[in-house]
Structure 1
Amino acid sequence: PAAPPSSAPASSPSSSSDTAIRSLLVPVPDAEPVAPAGAPGSVLPGRPEAARPRVRQAAAPADPEYGVPCPSCGAPNAPRRHFCRSCAIPLKDSADRTAEGPFAGQRPRLHRDRTRWIARAVGIAVVAGLIVGGIFGGPPAARAVQDHFAKRVPVHPTKYSASHSAPKQPAKLAFDGYSNTWWGTGYAGDSAGQWLQADFGQPTDLLNLLITPGTSGRSAQAAEQARPMEFDLVVNDSAGKEHIMKRRINDGGAQKIDVRVRDAVSARLIVRSAYGAGKDRQVAIAEMEYFGRSAQ
């Protein structure tokens, strides 16, 4: 009788399931057995080699530029550049900076107003020149210096007269101290040759004359009549000497005129020409004020 076939050992269900699970989780290919280190015929792992540098191709040369040369290296730069294409130095001038503080260790400069010192020096030089001129220039120069620094006071005439006056416009109205009253020549036109005189009770040193032309100190009212433009101022002193001064004033407003006559006894204003002269207008003067040297 035939022998019964030999039966292969049946694998356990648990071992087959573990192998299937391992093949799903960590698929590992069949590897050859690795010999232990130091065994005959074994090969040690080599050192990792460093990556070789990549050889780059030379860049295409840049197109030549033409423009302002760099102040540092001299390379030309196009106008659009703000920094040098060669050395990267700023191309703008450092003077464009609006403000810059002192450097380290540098004392800040004091900002002094030199104009004030110059004005003071000029003033001192003028005063010194006047004093020296008064000393070495004789009595006339000394009197000029005294007149320049003298204190001025009003001089009131004791008598008034005129070559002719309009009705209700006598000469005294030009010396009454009010600018809304006036003296009129009484003649139409420029009244050339007409005069207005002031007499002083005693000799006085005249320095200035303040004249208000027209009928008022206000410009609108002053233009109602003609106003003196050019005139002669004739001043007589106590010695009988006549001082003639030709003057020209502006049209409108009180104006100061230098006189500078010692020991004056009378002053006469002679009209030569006028502003706004016409057939129905006469030359008018609202006020005349004389100023002399103070006795103190």
Structure 2
Amino acid sequence: MTERVRSLLVPVEDPQHRPAPVRSVAPVLPGRPLAERPQVRAPGYEQGHEHGLPCPWCATPNRPDRRFCTRCAMPMERDGMQQAQHRPWWRRLPLFGRRREIPWAGDRPPLRRAFDRLLSWGVGALALGLLIWAVVSIPAGVQATRDHFAKRAPVAPDDIRASRSYQGHHPDLAFDKVNNTWWGSGIRGTGEGQWIEARFDQPTRLLDLIITPGVSTKADELTKSALPHRLKATITTKEGKTRTRHLTLDQGAGGQRRAFRVGEVTKVRFTIESAYATSEKKQVALAEIEMFGPSNSDGG
């Protein structure tokens, strides 16, 4: 049985290594298509027209029938060039006469949108407004500079009035250049609404104030009266117009200087709005109000 099985087997040879076939052409990547380059004629003189009509812009000779230059593509008409050179006077102003560079043939000018134009007009209007404001503010600035460096001199009012006064302490005592006399409001408590007024026969320029609250400059006498806290200054100018300033004083002895730059006034009214250390046995008192203006030695 074994021999019979062996006779049925088919002999097979052992596998052998075979060399790879040699190719005659190596693989390559596919080529990239290139666009054809346009054939552009370089600018220059036209053949056979060396003595043609010259372009008014670039002086290139052109055929007589051409309307645009063969080199720069500008119009061949001379009227356009003369109009560009001889513009009206208002077009030659710096604000309106700004000439834009004319683009050459093949150059696309930048597009201007509506927002860009609005922005340009807005910036121009702002610059014009600032220029007008600067011109209008020059006199006020010059006067403010002069007031800042001016030498101060005392100014005495020509007439003094008050809403009411305590007996023996009339309003003139607040402008007598003496600190141990005083004006009393004549009302116990805060004295709110009571006023004292200085008038001038001629319009006067004021620069500073020195206000001494109380009945004197001594610290031990501050408790003898109420002290003004807030004063409303109503200023009347020579034109008859009124404006107000608010002065806030400290609770202390001695004169207190405050800047008070007003020009050409005819009267100033000081109205009491609040006070320190008020009681039913005290009244608001002012020892002195000193006014200062520019000295005549400075030419003010």
How far residue 210 of structure 1 moved from its aligned partner, in angstroms, is: 0.6
| Cα 1:237–1:281 shift into 2, 3 Å | same
Q: CA RMSD in A?
A: 1.7
Deviation at 1:257, TM superposition (A): 1.2
Q: Name 2:173's counterpart in structure 1.
A: 173
Deviations 1:75-117 (A, max 9, x none): xxxxxxxxxxxxxxxxxxxxxxxxxxxxxxxxxxxxxxxxxxx
CA contact (8 A) 1:205 1:293 kept: yes
Is 1:259 the equivalent of 2:260? yes
Query: After superposition, where does 1:118-137 map in structure 2 within 5 Å?
Result: 137=137
* CA apart distance, 1:232: 0.4
The 8 Å contact of residues 174 and 285 in structure 1, kept in 2 or not, is answered as yes
CA distance in 2 between counterparts of 1:206 and 1:294 reads: 11
Aligned to 1:61: none
Amino acid in structure 1 at the alignment position of 2:258:
I
Amino acid at match of 1:241: K
In the alignment, residue 265 of structure 2 is paired with which amino acid? A
1:145 aligns with 2:153: no
Alignment match, 1:295:
296
Residue in structure 2 matched with residue 276 of structure 1 by the alignment:
277
Matched, 1:157 2:157: yes
Q: Pairwise mapping of residues 36-185 of structure 1 onto structure 2 (< 5 A)?
A: 137-185=137-185
Count residues with an aligned counterpart: 164
2:233 pairs with 1:233: yes
Task: Quote the Cα distance in structure 2 between the aligned partners of 1:209 and 1:135.
Answer: 31
Aligned counterparts of 1:159 and 1:243: Cα–Cα separation in 2: 20
Q: Which residue does the alignment assign to 1:249?
A: 249
The separation in 2 between residues aligned to 1:239 and 1:219, in whole angstroms, is 42
Alpha carbons of structure 1 residues 225 and 200: separation in structure 2 relative to 1, 3 Å: same
The answer for the alignment partner of 2:52 in structure 1 is none
Identity percentage of aligned residues: 39
3-state DSSP of counterpart to 2:166: coil
Q: Distance in 1 between matches of 2:251 and 2:174?
A: 17
Runs of 4+ that moved beyond 2 A = 134-137
1:215 aligns with 2:207: no
Extract unaligned runs of 5+ from structure 1: 1-133
The answer to whether the Cα contact below 8 Å between 1:215 and 1:223 also exists between their aligned partners in 2 is no
- Tell me the equivalent position of 1:38: none
Q: 1:295 to 1:281 in 2, by over 3 A?
A: same
Distance 2:135 2:259 in 1: 23
Paired position in structure 2 for 1:189:
189
Contact 1:135 1:142 in 2 (8 A): no
Match of 2:196, SS state, is strand
Conserved 8 A contact 1:211-1:287: yes
SS in structure 1 opposite 2:296? coil
CA–CA distance in 2 between the matches of 1:137 and 1:198?
30
SS at match of 1:138: helix
The residue number in structure 1 matching 2:98 is none
Whether the 8 Å CA contact 1:191–1:282 is kept in 2: the answer is: yes
Q: Decide whether the 8 Å contact of 1:212 with 1:288 is kept in 2.
A: yes
Query: Which amino acid letter does the alignment assign opposite residue 167 of structure 1?
Result: Q
Which structure has the greater CA radius of gyration?
A: 1
1:258: how far off?
A: 1.2
Cα distance per residue 1:14-61 (max 9 Å; x no partner): xxxxxxxxxxxxxxxxxxxxxxxxxxxxxxxxxxxxxxxxxxxxxxxx
In structure 1, C-alpha distance between the alignment counterparts of 2:191 and 2:137, rounded to whole Å: 42
- TM-score, structure 2 normalization: 0.53
SS of the residue corresponding to residue 261 of structure 2 reads strand
Cα distance in structure 2, aligned partners of 1:204 and 1:285: 23
Length-normalised TM-score, structure 1: 0.53
Write the distance in 1 (CA, Å) between the matches of 2:234 and 2:143.
Answer: 20
Distance in 1, Cα, partners of 2:296 & 2:264: 13
- For structure 2, the 5+ residue unaligned runs are 1-133
The residue aligned with 2:204 is: 204
Code of the aligned partner of 2:202: Q
In the alignment, residue 206 of structure 2 is paired with which amino acid? L
Letter in 2 for 1:288: I
Q: Which amino acid aligns with 2:180?
A: N
